[in-house]
Amino acid sequence: MTFLLFIQITFVCLLGAMSPGPSMMVVINNAIFKNKFNGILTAIGHGFGIGIYALFAVIGVGLIIKTNVFIFSSLKFLSIIFLFYLGIQAINKKNQIEYDKTNIKSGMQSFLQGLSISILNPKIFIWFIAIYSQFMSLDNTYFFNISLVLIASIVDALWYLLLVNLVTFHSVLELIKNKSYLMQKIVGFLFIIISMILLIDLFK
Protein backbone atom coordinates (compact mmCIF):
# COMPACT_ATOMS: atom_id res chain seq x y z
CA MET A 1 0.00 0.00 0.00
CA THR A 2 1.44 3.35 -1.05
CA PHE A 3 1.32 6.33 1.29
CA LEU A 4 -1.03 8.18 -1.07
CA LEU A 5 -3.45 5.25 -1.13
CA PHE A 6 -3.27 5.02 2.66
CA ILE A 7 -4.19 8.72 2.91
CA GLN A 8 -7.09 8.27 0.47
CA ILE A 9 -8.56 5.33 2.39
CA THR A 10 -8.06 7.06 5.74
CA PHE A 11 -9.71 10.25 4.49
CA VAL A 12 -12.77 8.44 3.16
CA CYS A 13 -13.13 6.43 6.40
CA LEU A 14 -12.78 9.63 8.42
CA LEU A 15 -15.52 11.30 6.38
CA GLY A 16 -17.82 8.40 7.11
CA ALA A 17 -17.05 8.58 10.83
CA MET A 18 -17.51 12.36 10.97
CA SER A 19 -20.97 12.27 9.45
CA PRO A 20 -23.35 13.32 12.30
CA GLY A 21 -25.90 10.71 13.26
CA PRO A 22 -27.08 8.33 15.99
CA SER A 23 -23.55 7.04 16.61
CA MET A 24 -22.22 10.51 17.39
CA MET A 25 -25.19 11.16 19.67
CA VAL A 26 -24.66 7.94 21.66
CA VAL A 27 -20.91 8.46 22.11
CA ILE A 28 -21.27 12.10 23.16
CA ASN A 29 -24.17 11.42 25.54
CA ASN A 30 -22.35 8.56 27.27
CA ALA A 31 -19.31 10.80 27.73
CA ILE A 32 -21.37 13.70 29.11
CA PHE A 33 -24.08 12.10 31.22
CA LYS A 34 -22.00 9.25 32.64
CA ASN A 35 -18.27 9.99 32.43
CA LYS A 36 -15.33 10.11 30.05
CA PHE A 37 -14.44 6.45 30.67
CA ASN A 38 -17.87 5.32 29.48
CA GLY A 39 -17.51 7.56 26.44
CA ILE A 40 -14.17 5.92 25.67
CA LEU A 41 -15.68 2.43 25.96
CA THR A 42 -18.53 3.44 23.65
CA ALA A 43 -16.05 4.81 21.09
CA ILE A 44 -13.96 1.62 21.19
CA GLY A 45 -17.09 -0.53 20.88
CA HIS A 46 -18.23 1.49 17.88
CA GLY A 47 -14.83 1.17 16.22
CA PHE A 48 -14.91 -2.60 16.79
CA GLY A 49 -18.35 -2.82 15.16
CA ILE A 50 -17.12 -0.78 12.20
CA GLY A 51 -14.22 -3.21 11.82
CA ILE A 52 -16.65 -6.15 11.66
CA TYR A 53 -18.65 -4.48 8.89
CA ALA A 54 -15.46 -3.56 7.03
CA LEU A 55 -14.32 -7.21 7.25
CA PHE A 56 -17.63 -8.46 5.84
CA ALA A 57 -17.44 -5.88 3.05
CA VAL A 58 -13.89 -6.87 2.09
CA ILE A 59 -14.77 -10.59 2.09
CA GLY A 60 -17.99 -9.97 0.16
CA VAL A 61 -16.42 -7.79 -2.50
CA GLY A 62 -13.47 -10.19 -2.77
CA LEU A 63 -15.81 -13.10 -3.45
CA ILE A 64 -17.70 -11.09 -6.08
CA ILE A 65 -14.44 -10.24 -7.89
CA LYS A 66 -13.50 -13.93 -8.06
CA THR A 67 -17.01 -14.98 -9.12
CA ASN A 68 -17.97 -12.48 -11.81
CA VAL A 69 -16.01 -9.46 -13.05
CA PHE A 70 -19.14 -7.98 -14.73
CA ILE A 71 -21.05 -8.06 -11.43
CA PHE A 72 -18.07 -6.43 -9.74
CA SER A 73 -17.96 -3.63 -12.33
CA SER A 74 -21.72 -3.13 -11.93
CA LEU A 75 -21.27 -3.02 -8.15
CA LYS A 76 -18.62 -0.32 -8.46
CA PHE A 77 -20.95 1.79 -10.60
CA LEU A 78 -23.93 1.29 -8.26
CA SER A 79 -21.68 2.07 -5.30
CA ILE A 80 -20.74 5.42 -6.82
CA ILE A 81 -24.42 6.21 -7.35
CA PHE A 82 -25.10 5.27 -3.71
CA LEU A 83 -22.30 7.53 -2.52
CA PHE A 84 -23.77 10.39 -4.57
CA TYR A 85 -27.19 9.63 -3.03
CA LEU A 86 -25.72 9.77 0.49
CA GLY A 87 -24.28 13.20 -0.31
CA ILE A 88 -27.64 14.51 -1.55
CA GLN A 89 -29.39 13.01 1.47
CA ALA A 90 -26.94 14.66 3.88
CA ILE A 91 -27.37 18.05 2.21
CA ASN A 92 -31.18 17.85 2.23
CA LYS A 93 -31.54 16.43 5.73
CA LYS A 94 -33.48 18.89 7.88
CA ASN A 95 -33.69 17.41 11.37
CA GLN A 96 -31.15 18.23 14.06
CA ILE A 97 -29.58 15.54 16.22
CA GLU A 98 -30.81 15.34 19.82
CA TYR A 99 -27.77 15.25 22.10
CA ASP A 100 -29.73 15.35 25.36
CA LYS A 101 -31.19 11.87 25.57
CA THR A 102 -30.43 10.20 28.87
CA ASN A 103 -30.68 6.50 27.99
CA ILE A 104 -27.12 6.00 29.20
CA LYS A 105 -25.42 2.69 29.89
CA SER A 106 -22.35 2.11 32.07
CA GLY A 107 -19.22 -0.04 31.97
CA MET A 108 -19.41 -2.98 29.59
CA GLN A 109 -22.90 -1.82 28.60
CA SER A 110 -21.35 1.32 27.12
CA PHE A 111 -18.99 -0.80 25.01
CA LEU A 112 -21.89 -2.97 23.84
CA GLN A 113 -23.98 0.11 23.12
CA GLY A 114 -21.24 1.49 20.89
CA LEU A 115 -20.90 -1.91 19.21
CA SER A 116 -24.65 -2.32 18.67
CA ILE A 117 -25.25 1.20 17.31
CA SER A 118 -22.79 0.41 14.51
CA ILE A 119 -23.77 -3.24 13.92
CA LEU A 120 -27.51 -2.45 13.83
CA ASN A 121 -27.07 0.19 11.12
CA PRO A 122 -27.13 -1.65 7.74
CA LYS A 123 -26.29 1.60 5.94
CA ILE A 124 -22.76 1.27 7.34
CA PHE A 125 -22.32 -2.09 5.60
CA ILE A 126 -23.63 -0.65 2.32
CA TRP A 127 -21.26 2.30 2.82
CA PHE A 128 -18.26 -0.03 3.08
CA ILE A 129 -19.37 -2.05 0.07
CA ALA A 130 -19.61 1.22 -1.84
CA ILE A 131 -16.23 2.55 -0.73
CA TYR A 132 -14.13 -0.59 -0.63
CA SER A 133 -15.32 -1.84 -4.01
CA GLN A 134 -13.25 1.05 -5.37
CA PHE A 135 -10.09 -0.31 -3.73
CA MET A 136 -10.56 -4.04 -4.28
CA SER A 137 -9.00 -6.06 -7.09
CA LEU A 138 -7.69 -9.55 -7.78
CA ASP A 139 -4.18 -8.21 -7.24
CA ASN A 140 -4.85 -7.23 -3.62
CA THR A 141 -2.63 -8.95 -1.06
CA TYR A 142 -3.94 -10.30 2.26
CA PHE A 143 -1.98 -7.56 4.00
CA PHE A 144 -3.74 -4.89 1.92
CA ASN A 145 -7.20 -6.32 2.62
CA ILE A 146 -6.47 -6.63 6.34
CA SER A 147 -5.24 -3.03 6.26
CA LEU A 148 -8.60 -1.94 4.82
CA VAL A 149 -10.35 -3.46 7.83
CA LEU A 150 -7.91 -2.09 10.41
CA ILE A 151 -7.88 1.42 8.96
CA ALA A 152 -11.69 1.61 9.08
CA SER A 153 -11.86 0.36 12.66
CA ILE A 154 -8.97 2.44 14.02
CA VAL A 155 -9.95 5.69 12.25
CA ASP A 156 -13.53 5.39 13.52
CA ALA A 157 -12.46 4.66 17.10
CA LEU A 158 -9.88 7.49 17.11
CA TRP A 159 -12.43 9.99 15.77
CA TYR A 160 -14.89 9.19 18.53
CA LEU A 161 -12.16 9.09 21.17
CA LEU A 162 -11.22 12.60 20.07
CA LEU A 163 -14.88 13.66 20.38
CA VAL A 164 -15.09 12.16 23.87
CA ASN A 165 -12.15 14.26 24.98
CA LEU A 166 -13.42 17.42 23.28
CA VAL A 167 -16.98 17.32 24.62
CA THR A 168 -15.75 17.48 28.21
CA PHE A 169 -15.20 21.16 27.44
CA HIS A 170 -18.59 22.88 27.52
CA SER A 171 -17.68 25.39 24.81
CA VAL A 172 -16.61 22.62 22.41
CA LEU A 173 -19.79 20.65 23.14
CA GLU A 174 -21.95 23.67 22.33
CA LEU A 175 -19.97 24.22 19.13
CA ILE A 176 -20.56 20.61 18.06
CA LYS A 177 -24.28 20.92 18.85
CA ASN A 178 -24.60 24.17 16.92
CA LYS A 179 -22.42 23.23 13.96
CA SER A 180 -23.35 19.55 13.45
CA TYR A 181 -25.90 20.67 10.86
CA LEU A 182 -23.16 22.51 8.94
CA MET A 183 -20.79 19.56 9.32
CA GLN A 184 -23.47 17.34 7.83
CA LYS A 185 -23.73 19.61 4.78
CA ILE A 186 -19.95 19.73 4.28
CA VAL A 187 -19.63 15.95 4.48
CA GLY A 188 -22.53 15.65 2.02
CA PHE A 189 -20.79 17.90 -0.53
CA LEU A 190 -17.55 15.95 -0.10
CA PHE A 191 -19.42 12.67 -0.74
CA ILE A 192 -20.76 14.13 -3.99
CA ILE A 193 -17.32 15.36 -5.08
CA ILE A 194 -15.74 11.97 -4.33
CA SER A 195 -18.50 10.14 -6.22
CA MET A 196 -17.96 12.37 -9.28
CA ILE A 197 -14.19 11.76 -9.19
CA LEU A 198 -14.74 8.00 -8.91
CA LEU A 199 -17.27 8.07 -11.76
CA ILE A 200 -14.83 9.92 -14.04
CA ASP A 201 -12.07 7.45 -13.11
CA LEU A 202 -14.38 4.48 -13.78
CA PHE A 203 -15.05 5.55 -17.38
CA LYS A 204 -11.48 6.48 -18.24
Report the pLDDT value the prediction gives residue 97, as an integer from 0 to 100.
Answer: 54
Task: Look up the pTM and report it.
Answer: 0.77
Amino acid making up residue 189: F
Distance CA 87, CA 190 (A): 7
Show the beta-strand stretches assigned E in 144-191: none
**107 Rama sector, left if φ>0, alpha if ψ -120 to 50, beta otherwise:** left
H/E element holding 62? helix 36-67
Distance CA 169, CA 31 (A): 11
Report angle CA 45, 94, 153 to the nearest 5 degrees.
20
Per-residue pLDDT of 91-137, as tens digits, reads 887 655 555 554 444 667 888 888 888 887 777 877 888 888 888 88
Domain assignment of residue 132, given as a range: 3-202
> Count of domains in the chain?
1
Predicted confidence band at 161 (pLDDT cuts at 50, 70, 90)? Answer: very high
Report the pLDDT value the prediction gives residue 98, as an integer from 0 to 100.
Answer: 55
Mean pLDDT lowest among 69-73, 140-144, 195-199: 69-73
Report the pLDDT value the prediction gives residue 159, as an integer from 0 to 100.
Answer: 94
Q: Taking residues 142-161, report their average pLDDT.
A: 93
Report the pLDDT value the prediction gives residue 104, as an integer from 0 to 100.
Answer: 47
